[in-house]
């Protein structure tokens, strides 16, 4: 890392007007990443995504920047004709960071251990995961087309047997990636160094560090001052600011994450489809996109963003902004404005409480905007900013009215698993609530089991159009993933799936 | 009266008048947004101090924030003073077990730094004016208690009070004639300091997201909201900064602060 | 005024016990009263919010025994507090004692540097102002102290961050790991402490200069500098050290705020995060440590005063 003297010399150079990246170019072999998320622990079920993004741990299946699956620690996979048995051939000559070799037995036991923890595997109808020769065999109780996609999720990263103690707790993160853990300081930092026996192409940089800085403006300042090289998830103002700084490149990438409003359809006012439509019509998405997110293109016209190919449906009529129509719809349902400007029906006020959380800096701002926009049509919205977990908790105990969050449909490269969780029978913690739509559940099951592309796409179309008409959740915006990095850091590819920071491919310009 | 104190009092008076008149003075609703007119510079379209990151009128929000902040300060300080002075006089007057018990209670509150106690209490119910009020009043009463106990103790032993007692004059007479005139000035000074503490604490907790929360137009919250836009719109964050600094400074000057 | 050393020690021990009890009971009651379900909040901290589900929360609940009666958990906790068994973080699973060990080091480093900065600012200014009370320098420094004191610590931090780190690019804006990271948090905290300390030094020096002994020394023909070094320093130091003791509250409050603003991985930062993540053991561990630190520092200041001023010893 930089020494104090070094920093002082650097400061003088900067003061003298010499560009920062150039001054650094000759000597640097490390990269510092600043992101909002804590490194709470080393269990992949915990903040495993950070270990995946820092390329410490790897999964059997990998995905490229378009979301297409490609071999990871498994070189190939096949499914039996009945769709119940998947075989993943394990890559040869792969060693863990402790020098032990990867084999099917190690991979299977790592996956079996992951099954005992919360994670995406619990969505799969698993019978067993076993080693068979040089392959890992996954047996299912019913067909499930997305097994490879699930095995690309970070909770299924393969760790060496020595990573676990007798109870299955992770005592050390021993993965197979191009970088090995150097030091973990929970909850704020993770240092990694190049792993020289990596099976793939060795990275150019020697070391990297991950710093958790929860405030967006802090990350922007760190990027500007050179204290962090790669800064991710910037706030709109920080993004605009960094754009103007010489020597720093900023990128905004559409990712399969949508900012949505979850509605509890069991709440009286929300049970009417027309009321949900009115609420949606009252939302000025373009205003939110332009004024808060500062990306006019981010306004959602439907739930799935265009980056989710196969799920985004260009034929759907886009969501519109029309507060007058919204007021008409509500009047048609018998709502009348009271003295305080709030709608009432049968003595009940149209009042709701919205839950959201501050980890993504724009969410509380959007909540404040919604509060204002809904008040214009006579809906009283109280905003409660708290911990994200209050949303699933409210889903489970039924206390939730409305929730605002950013849902990642790219947890697995194929969003079918999330979609089933969110909109299948009974809805989901991060999806529909008290929405009864058997035809959607049926179509989702078909999408889950079918591997025939055409039948699948028909099923997906059914789902997408039902979501657009029924609005069990109201889409607000498509998330823009933002990254800032020095122009001298070459080869950085921003991954729309947020699977990697791309550090193994970067090098500092000479 | 010394000049700084006079300046402080005059500023306080102005702040108080502005606060009582409130957001309507600006001609805008502090909650009304215009996402297509964000971060306007001062003076644009009738926005005296410009607009914030959601296109809300900053002047209206500053005044709304003043109402929240100063009402909290006034109420927390008044409660703390009433409670602290009452108990302080009781302890000083009665002495003995009462005094020791109350003394121990005040020591228990002082066992932790004040802000830490407020922080812990504020977490019981986030974003609650009343929790903050309770926490701040709880930490502030001790100072009033200690001062009034010490003064009462000295005064009750004084010849004048003893004479009054011998003459058979009642407790109230002693309090009114001998204790209160002596104490009231000190209490006012303490109250001004206490109010400065409340204003600072509220903004601090709001800024580090453990006090009041958006969209409440609280000054610390506003600073946290506007900090990211500081280069684009330095005037926007300057407004709550100046409001906070001016209020605290006036209170401290009015209290007769010598630093 | 003289209090025996034994009584002083006993008083601080009682204070420490009160801290432990208050933190234990209040903290626990607080967590019970918090809205929402602790198991969900903890699960979100552990698994990331995309992964929080009812199932994950149930697992956390049974693992941590959150379904036991409140009274039983409170008794267990208070018992553990008094045996210094702080338990495990409900979020990271790390032993609280171990985590605090790390954080305490960072906090103490920061506090020491900040106190040094405060002394470096306050002593020269205070002495110069105190030697010539009423001079222009004295008035300016007094006015400055009043203005700085009116500024909340977080505001000073932000201003320094914007000016030194962003506009001038001299030091890192936030983070931890190398020397440059010290500058902003230590300077912020140091300035906050110095704004009070400067006036204390100034008043103590002014009082000393006005004292008979000092004036007599000047009469004897000793130059000002020598007179002050011989007679003034020790007398002036007593109220300064005593005030340093009182300032411990300011220091600890400043630590919580400044660490949060600059992402300094110390106890204050951990405390605010523990509140947010509803990590009961971590919250109580950090609050307890800060409270005990406060008691210990106050006690050390007591001792320092006694060492400097023998009249206090009986």
Nearest CA distance, A378 vs chain C (angstrom) = 28
Distance, in Å, from the CA atom of C242 to the CA atom of A12, rounded to the nearest integer, reads 41
Number of residues that this document lists for chain B: 259
Highest mean pLDDT among A5-14, A373-382, C91-100: A373-382
Question: Within a domain: residue A213?
Answer: no
* Contact of A378 with A343, CB cutoff 8 Å: yes
Contacts of A223 in chain B (CB under 8 A): none
Question: Within a domain: residue A493?
Answer: no
Residue pairs spanning B and C at CB distance below 8 A: 115
Q: Cβ B232–A358 below 8 Å, yes or no? A: no
Mean pLDDT over A460-476 rounds to: 95
Residues 6+ apart with CB under 8 A from A258: A300, A303, A304, A305, A406, A407, A409, A475, A476, A477, A478, A479
CA-based nearest residue in chain C for residue B123: C275
Place of tokens 């192409």: A201
Place of tokens 């604490």: B201
Is residue C10 scored above 60 in pLDDT?
yes
Rounded to the nearest angstrom, the gap between the alpha carbon of residue A240 and the centroid of all alpha carbons in its chain is 23
Q: How confident is the model at residue C48 (pLDDT cuts 50, 70, 90)?
A: low
Q: The domain containing residue C18 runs over which residues?
A: 5-82
Mean pLDDT of chain C: 79
CA-based nearest residue in chain C for residue A394: C36
SS3 readout for A257-269: EEEEEEEECCCHH
Chain C: list its partners (3+ Cβ pairs within 8 Å): A, B
Interfacial C residues in 76-135 facing B (CB < 8 Å): none
* Contact of A60 with A73, CB cutoff 8 Å: yes
- Extract the tokens encoding C92: 């990271």
Last residue of a domain, one of C49, C82, C115: C82
DSSP of B232-251, one letter per residue? T-HHHHHHHHHHHHHHHHHH
The reply to whether C112 and C188 lie within a common domain is yes
- Backbone phi and psi for residue A166, each to the nearest 5 degrees, phi listed first: -60, -30
Distance, in Å, from the CA atom of A176 to the CA atom of A58, rounded to the nearest integer, reads 6
Nearest CA distance, A218 vs chain B (angstrom) = 9
* Contact of B72 with B132, CB cutoff 8 Å: yes
The reply to whether C177 and C49 lie within a common domain is no
Instruction: Determine contact: C48 vs chain A, CB below 8 A.
Output: yes
* Contact of A321 with A284, CB cutoff 8 Å: yes
Which residue ranges of chain B lie beneath pLDDT 50?
259
Q: Per-residue pLDDT tens for C185-229?
A: 999 999 999 988 888 888 888 888 887 777 777 777 777 777 777
Please tell me which of the candidates C199, C287, C291 has its beta carbon nearest to residue B259: C199
Chain A: list its partners (3+ Cβ pairs within 8 Å): B, C
- Please give the biggest Cα pair distance in chain C: 85
The reply to whether C68 and C215 lie within a common domain is no
CA-based nearest residue in chain C for residue B199: C152
Task: Look at chain C and report how many structural domains it folds into.
Answer: 2
Number of residues that this document lists for chain A: 510
Question: Within a domain: residue A397?
Answer: yes
Q: Cβ C53–A392 below 8 Å, yes or no? A: yes
Q: Cβ B259–C195 below 8 Å, yes or no? A: yes
First-residue to last-residue Cα distance in chain C: 10
Closest CA to C125 of C190, C48, C177, C74: C190
pLDDT of amino acid A309: 83
Distance, in Å, from the CA atom of A101 to the CA atom of A174, rounded to the nearest integer, reads 12
Nearest CA distance, A4 vs chain C (angstrom) = 5
Mean pLDDT over C19-29 rounds to: 74
The reply to whether C138 and C283 lie within a common domain is yes
b (16+ CB within 10 A) / e for B132-162 = bbbbbbbbbbbbbbbbbbebbbebbeeeebe
Q: How confident is the model at residue C82 (pLDDT cuts 50, 70, 90)?
A: low
pLDDT of amino acid C283: 82
Question: Within a domain: residue A338?
Answer: yes
- At C293, which CATH number? 1.10.3720.10
Question: Within a domain: residue A509?
Answer: no
Number of residues that this document lists for chain C: 314
Please tell me which of the candidates B36, B209, B232 has its beta carbon nearest to residue A287: B36
CA-based nearest residue in chain C for residue A14: C169
Least confident segment among A368-372, A479-483, B28-32, C276-280? C276-280
Is residue C55 scored above 70 in pLDDT?
yes
Question: Within a domain: residue A278?
Answer: yes
Question: Within a domain: residue A42?
Answer: no
The reply to whether C149 and C209 lie within a common domain is yes
Residue to mutate among C150, C198, C270, with most B CBs inside 10 A, is C150
Instruction: Determine contact: C99 vs chain A, CB below 8 A.
Output: yes
Q: Which residue did the predictor score with more confidence, C88 or A83?
A: A83
Could you give the C-alpha distances from C194 to A197, B248, C247, in angstroms and in order? 54, 18, 10
Q: Cβ B35–A292 below 8 Å, yes or no? A: yes
Q: The domain containing residue A317 runs over which residues?
A: 255-480
Query: Containing H/E element for A84?
Result: none
Could you give the C-alpha distances from B49 to A78, A372, B52, in angstroms and in order? 66, 21, 9
Instruction: Determine contact: C42 vs chain B, CB below 8 A.
Output: no
Interfacial C residues in 52-71 facing B (CB < 8 Å): none
CA-based nearest residue in chain B for residue A239: B228
Closest CA to A292 of B104, C54, B219, B228: B228
Question: Within a domain: residue C39?
Answer: yes
pLDDT of amino acid B197: 92
Q: Cβ B35–A361 below 8 Å, yes or no? A: no
Contacts of A484 in chain B (CB under 8 A): none
Domains in chain B (CATH in brackets) are 3-27+48-254 (1.10.3720.10)
- Backbone phi and psi for residue C148, each to the nearest 5 degrees, phi listed first: -65, -40
Which residues from A are below 8 Å from B when comparing CB atoms?
216-217, 220, 235-238, 240-241, 284, 287-288, 290-292, 358, 361, 364-365, 368-369, 371-372, 383-386
Instruction: Determine contact: B101 vs chain C, CB below 8 A.
Output: no
pLDDT of amino acid A22: 42
Own/partner pairs, A427-430, CB within 8 angstroms, 24+ separation: A427/A395, A427/A472, A428/A395, A429/A391, A429/A392, A429/A395, A429/A396, A429/C52, A429/C53, A429/C54, A430/A262, A430/A391, A430/A392, A430/A405, A430/C50
Instruction: Determine contact: B2 vs chain C, CB below 8 A.
Output: no
Please tell me which of the candidates C53, C92, C165 has its beta carbon nearest to residue A429: C53
Q: How confident is the model at residue C281 (pLDDT cuts 50, 70, 90)?
A: confident
The reply to whether C292 and C143 lie within a common domain is yes
Share of chain A above pLDDT 90, in %: 59
- At A424, which CATH number? 3.10.105.10
Contacts of A4 in chain C (CB under 8 A): 178-180
SS3 readout for chain C: CCCCHHHHHHHHHHHHHHHHHHHHHHHHHHHHHCCCCHHHHHHHHHHCHHHCCHHHHHHHHHHHCCCCCHHHHHHHHHHHHHCCCCCECCCCCCEHHHHHHHHHHHHHHHHHHHHHHHHHHHHHHHHHHHHCCCCHHHHHHHHHHHHHHHCCHHHHHHHHHHHHHHHCCCCCCCCCCCCHHHHHHHHHHHHHHHHHHHHHHHHHHHHHHHCHHHHHHHHCCCCHHHHHHHHHHHHHHHHHHHHHHHCHHHHHHHHHHHHHHHCCCCHHHHHHHHHHHCCHHHHHHHHHHHHHHHHHHHHHHHHHHHHHCHHHCC
The reply to whether C32 and C141 lie within a common domain is no
- Extract the tokens encoding A79: 């499914």
pLDDT of amino acid C44: 65
Least confident segment among A34-38, C24-28, C80-84? C80-84
The reply to whether C308 and C194 lie within a common domain is yes
Place of tokens 């002693």: B174
The reply to whether C236 and C183 lie within a common domain is yes
Question: Within a domain: residue C87?
Answer: no
Q: Per-residue pLDDT tens for C243-278?
A: 777 778 888 889 999 998 887 888 998 888 777 766
Task: Look at chain A and report how many structural domains it folds into.
Answer: 1
Distance, in Å, from the CA atom of A147 to the CA atom of A289, rounded to the nearest integer, reads 35
The reply to whether C109 and C72 lie within a common domain is no
Please tell me which of the candidates A217, A237, A291 has its beta carbon nearest to residue B54: A291
Q: Per-residue pLDDT tens for A154-192?
A: 999 999 999 999 888 899 999 999 999 999 987 788 999
Which residues are registered as beta bridge partners of C95? C88
Distance, in Å, from the CA atom of A224 to the CA atom of A222, rounded to the nearest integer, reads 5
ipTM for the predicted complex comes to 0.81
Helices B234-254 and B180-207: crossing angle in degrees, nearest 10, is 160
Query: In terms of DSSP H, where are the helices of B157-179?
Result: 159-166, 171-174
pLDDT of amino acid B109: 83
Please tell me which of the candidates A217, A241, A291 has its beta carbon nearest to residue B36: A291
* Contact of A196 with A202, CB cutoff 8 Å: yes
Closest CA to A236 of A223, A214, A217, A255: A217
Rounded-to-10 torsion of CA A291, A294, A300, A305: -170
Is residue C84 scored above 60 in pLDDT?
yes
- Please give the biggest Cα pair distance in chain A: 75
Q: Could you check whether the bond before residue B201 is cis, i.e. omega within 30 degrees of 0? A: no
Nearest CA distance, A235 vs chain B (angstrom) = 8
Distance, in Å, from the CA atom of C1 to the CA atom of C15, rounded to the nearest integer, reads 20
Question: Within a domain: residue A450?
Answer: yes
Contacts of B231 in chain A (CB under 8 A): 237, 241
Contacts of A235 in chain B (CB under 8 A): 228
Question: Within a domain: residue C97?
Answer: no
Contacts of C152 in chain B (CB under 8 A): 200, 203-204, 207, 220, 244, 248
Residues 6+ apart with CB under 8 A from B96: none
* Contact of A308 with A415, CB cutoff 8 Å: yes
Contacts of B54 in chain A (CB under 8 A): 291-292, 365, 368-369, 372
Distance, in Å, from the CA atom of A501 to the CA atom of A210, rounded to the nearest integer, reads 10
Q: Cβ C275–B248 below 8 Å, yes or no? A: no
Mean pLDDT of chain A: 88
pLDDT of amino acid C175: 63
* Contact of C53 with A429, CB cutoff 8 Å: yes
Mean pLDDT over A69-83 rounds to: 93
Contacts of C46 in chain A (CB under 8 A): 40-41, 43, 45-46
Please tell me which of the candidates B111, B227, B259 has its beta carbon nearest to residue C158: B227
Give strand ranges (E) for A186-338: 189-194, 207-212, 230-232, 248-263, 336-337
pLDDT of amino acid A3: 38
The reply to whether C43 and C170 lie within a common domain is no
pLDDT of amino acid C179: 66
Please tell me which of the candidates B111, B116, B208 has its beta carbon nearest to residue C252: B116
Q: How confident is the model at residue A351 (pLDDT cuts 50, 70, 90)?
A: very high
Least confident segment among A273-277, A447-451, A484-488? A447-451
Query: Containing H/E element for B35?
Result: none
At A402, is the secondary structure helix, strand, or coil? strand
Question: Within a domain: residue C89?
Answer: no
Instruction: Determine contact: B207 vs chain C, CB below 8 A.
Output: yes
pLDDT of amino acid A8: 39
Is residue C32 scored above 70 in pLDDT?
no
């Amino acid at each position: 890392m930089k020494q104090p003297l070094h920093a002082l010399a650097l400061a003088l150079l900067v003061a003298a007007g010499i560009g920062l990246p150039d001054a650094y170019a000759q000597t640097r072999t490390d990269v510092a990443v600043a992101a909002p998320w804590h490194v709470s622990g080393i269990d992949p079920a915990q903040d495993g995504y950070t270990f995946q993004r820092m390329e410490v741990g790897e999964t059997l299946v990998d995905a490229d920047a378009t979301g297409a699956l490609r071999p990871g620690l498994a070189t190939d996979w096949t499914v039996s004709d009945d769709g119940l048995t998947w075989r993943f051939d394990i890559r040869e000559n792969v060693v863990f960071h402790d020098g032990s070799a990867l084999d099917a037995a190690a991979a299977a036991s790592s996956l079996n251990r992951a099954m005992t923890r919360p994670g995406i595997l619990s969505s799969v109808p698993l019978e067993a995961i076993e080693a068979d020769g040089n392959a890992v065999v996954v047996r299912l109780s019913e067909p499930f087309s997305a097994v490879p996609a699930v095995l690309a999720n970070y909770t299924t990263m393969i760790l060496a047997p020595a990573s676990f103690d007798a109870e299955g707790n992770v005592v050390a993160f021993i993965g197979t990636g191009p970088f090995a853990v150097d030091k973990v300081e929970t909850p704020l930092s993770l240092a990694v160094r190049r792993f020289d026996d990596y099976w793939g192409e060795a990275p150019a940089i020697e070391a990297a560090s991950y710093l958790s800085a929860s405030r967006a403006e802090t990350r922007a300042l760190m990027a500007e001052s050179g204290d962090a090289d790669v800064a991710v998830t910037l706030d709109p103002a920080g993004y605009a600011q960094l754009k103007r700084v010489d020597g720093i490149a900023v990128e905004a990438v559409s990712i399969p994450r949508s900012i949505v409003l979850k509605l509890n359809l069991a709440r009286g006012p929300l049970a009417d489809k027309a009321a949900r439509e009115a609420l949606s019509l009252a939302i000025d998405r373009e205003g939110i996109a332009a004024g808060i997110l500062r990306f006019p293109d981010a306004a959602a016209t439907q739930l799935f963003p265009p980056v989710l190919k196969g799920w985004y449906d260009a034929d759907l009529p886009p969501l519109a902004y029309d507060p007058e129509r919204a007021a008409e719809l509500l009047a048609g349902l018998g709502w009348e404005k009271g003295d305080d400007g709030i709608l009432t029906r049968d003595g009940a006020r149209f009042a709701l409480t919205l839950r959201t959380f501050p980890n993504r800096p724009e969410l509380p701002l959007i909540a404040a905007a919604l509060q204002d926009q809904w008040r214009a049509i006579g809906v009283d919205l109280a905003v409660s900013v708290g911990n994200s977990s209050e949303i699933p908790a409210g889903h489970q105990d039924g206390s939730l009215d409305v929730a605002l969050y950013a849902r990642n449909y790219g947890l697995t490269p194929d969003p079918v698993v999330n979609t089933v969780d969110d909109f299948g029978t009974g809805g989901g913690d991060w999806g529909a609530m008290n929405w009864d739509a058997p035809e959607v559940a049926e179509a989702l099951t078909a999408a889950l089991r079918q591997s025939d592309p055409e039948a699948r796409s028909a099923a997906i179309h059914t789902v997408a159009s039902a979501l657009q008409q029924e609005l069990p959740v109201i889409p607000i915006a498509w998330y823009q993933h933002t990254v800032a990095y020095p122009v001298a850091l070459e080869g950085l590819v921003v991954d729309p799936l947020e699977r990697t920071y791309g550090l193994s491919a970067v090098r500092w310009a000479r | 009266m010394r000049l700084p104190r006079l300046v402080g009092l005059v500023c306080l008076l102005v702040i108080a008048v502005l606060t009582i008149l409130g957001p309507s003075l600006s001609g805008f609703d502090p909650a009304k947004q215009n996402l297509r007119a964000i971060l306007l510079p001062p003076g644009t379209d009738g926005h005296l101090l410009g607009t914030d990151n959601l296109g809300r009128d900053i002047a209206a929000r500053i005044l709304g924030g003043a109402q929240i902040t100063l009402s909290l300060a006034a109420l927390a300080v008044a409660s703390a003073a009433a409670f602290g002075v009452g108990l302080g006089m009781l302890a000083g007057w009665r002495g003995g077990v009462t005094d020791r018990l109350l003394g121990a209670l005040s020591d228990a509150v002082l066992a932790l730094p004040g802000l830490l106690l407020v922080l812990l209490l504020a977490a019981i119910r986030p974003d609650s004016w009343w929790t903050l009020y309770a926490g701040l009043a709880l930490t502030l009463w001790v100072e009033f208690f200690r001062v009034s106990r010490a003064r009462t103790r000295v005064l009750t032993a004084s010849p004048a009070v003893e004479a009054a007692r011998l003459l058979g004059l009642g407790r109230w007479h002693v309090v009114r004639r001998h204790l209160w005139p002596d104490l009231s000035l000190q209490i006012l000074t303490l109250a001004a300091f206490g109010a400065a503490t409340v204003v600072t604490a509220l903004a601090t907790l709001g800024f580090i997201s453990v006090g009041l929360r958006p969209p409440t137009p609280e000054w610390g919250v506003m600073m946290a909201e506007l900090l990211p836009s500081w280069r684009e719109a330095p005037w926007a964050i300057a407004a709550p900064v100046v409001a906070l600094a001016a209020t605290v400074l006036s209170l401290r000057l009015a209290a007769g602060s010598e630093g | 005024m003289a209090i025996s050393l034994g009584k002083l020690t006993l008083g601080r021990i009682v204070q420490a016990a009160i801290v432990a009890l208050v933190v234990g009971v209040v903290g626990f009651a607080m967590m019970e009263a918090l809205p929402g379900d602790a198991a969900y909040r903890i699960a979100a901290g552990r698994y990331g919010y995309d992964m929080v589900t009812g199932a994950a929360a149930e697992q956390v609940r049974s693992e941590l025994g959150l379904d036991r009666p409140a009274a039983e958990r409170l008794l267990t906790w208070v018992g553990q507090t008094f045996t210094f068994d702080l338990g495990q973080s409900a979020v990271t699973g790390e032993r609280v004692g171990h985590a605090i060990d790390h954080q305490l080091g960072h906090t103490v480093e920061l506090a020491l540097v900040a106190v040094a900065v405060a002394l470096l600012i306050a002593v020269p200014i205070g002495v110069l102002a105190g030697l010539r009370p009423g001079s222009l320098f004295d008035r300016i420094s007094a006015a400055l102290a009043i203005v700085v004191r009116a500024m909340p610590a977080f505001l000073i931090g932000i201003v320094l961050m914007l000016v030194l780190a962003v506009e001038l690019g001299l030091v890192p804006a936030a983070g931890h790991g190398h020397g440059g990271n010290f500058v902003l948090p230590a300077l912020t905290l140091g300035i906050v402490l110095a704004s009070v300390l400067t006036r204390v030094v100034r008043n103590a020096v002014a009082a000393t200069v006005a004292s008979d002994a000092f004036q007599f020394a000047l009469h004897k023909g000793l130059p000002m500098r020598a007179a002050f070094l011989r007679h003034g320093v020790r007398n002036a130091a007593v109220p300064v050290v005593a005030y340093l003791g009182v300032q411990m509250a300011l220091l600890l409050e400043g630590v919580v705020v400044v660490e949060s603003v600059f992402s300094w991985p110390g106890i204050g930062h951990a405390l605010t995060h523990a509140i947010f993540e509803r990590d009961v053991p971590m919250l109580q561990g950090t609050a307890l440590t800060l409270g005990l630190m406060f008691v210990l520092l106050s006690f050390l200041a007591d001792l320092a005063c006694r060492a400097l001023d023998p009249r206090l010893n009986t």
